[in-house]
Amino acid sequence: MCSESPDILVLQEVMFPAAEVTGAARKRSALSGKGKVLEAQKAVLERSFRDGGVFEDYTVKWSLSDRKYAGTALLIKKEVVRPTSIRYNLDISLDPDEHEEEGRVICATFEQFTLLMTCTYLLSETLSDIVFDTRFTEQQWQEGAG
């Protein structure tokens, strides 16, 4: 990162659980800090986005899982590009701010392009055994693109 300065950086498998909210669903856009190890890890990450941190020039958008696996992060350079919209699921019937359960989707629309980041997992070493998640249909994609 020191020698490169991308406008957009996408991270998959961030391995950090979503923040807990008493009496409600987890806050998938916020890092958990429950427990000494997570508190220390969260502090390191938060420092990296402050002045003087390695990511100080970036805004981060998190989509996190309930457990400490999966999760995605989208880092956008503050002064270069701004998305016109961000969606955290692929189901066009849902609110765009509703996060996919395991934090595996961030779709950011910019003025000139759309960036779709999905984190999928490989179940075996051969492509013939991959199981694809089919929670949306081709028709839903066509309706959403129109």
Instruction: Name the residue range of residue 26's domain.
Output: 8-145
Mean pLDDT throughout 40-67?
84
The answer to whether residue 3 sits within a structural domain is no
pLDDT at 137: 52
The answer to whether residue 1 sits within a structural domain is no
Mean pLDDT throughout 111-140?
64
pLDDT band at 18 (very low <50, low <70, confident <90, very high): confident
Among residues of the chain, what percentage have pLDDT more than 90? 18
pLDDT at 139: 56
Contact 121, 130 (CB under 8 A): no
The answer to whether residue 88 sits within a structural domain is yes
Please give the tally of structural domains in the chain. Answer: 1
* CA distance linking residue 88 with residue 76, whole number of Å: 16
The answer to whether residue 2 sits within a structural domain is no
pLDDT at 45: 82
